[in-house]
Amino acid sequence: METIHQIWDKITDMGSNFWGYTQTVILDLLSGNINQGTIGVMLVLSGNGLLLLMFIFLAIFPSRHIEAKTDMMASLTKHSIINIKARETASIDVNGADPVTEESKQFSDLKIIETDMKALKELYTAGRIQADIYVSESRSLYDAAKAIYSV
């Protein structure tokens, strides 16, 4: 317990010495007596003040991650377009015959729609799109799949 009192006394002595020195420096500045000691104290106090101000701004305005705005729905359609174009070019034979059957074409179309639906669900669960966009896009993908399957 005695050591705690000794430490406390040293801390309060240092604080009172610092406060007294700061008062004399401020009085020197007000009286126009500027020397190296006052300039040093001014620099230290202004640096501490800037740090304090910076911590206050960080507490009030927390940093936010800046993300580039991207059109998530465009990435889904790009995926579908790329796969459809690749499939169309692969299905053309040199002789003009179509080696891809209608059933396999429907199956691949349904696979593309399934991939898009999974990607759409991931976008929604990640919070990148809102619920109304998720519902409308899911309905349009479902309608496309229903049209393919009913053919």
Give pLDDT tens digits for 65-96: 666 555 555 555 555 544 554 455 444 444 44
First to last CA, the chain: 89
Residue of higher predicted confidence among 46 and 35:
46
pLDDT of residue 92: 46
pLDDT of residue 49: 92
pLDDT of residue 142: 86
Residue whose tokens read 């701004």:
57
pLDDT of residue 52: 95
Q: What global pTM score does this model have?
A: 0.36
Phi, psi (degrees; rounded to nearest 5) at 65: -75, 130
Residue of higher predicted confidence among 94 and 57:
57
Residues 104, 90: Cα–Cα separation, whole Å: 13
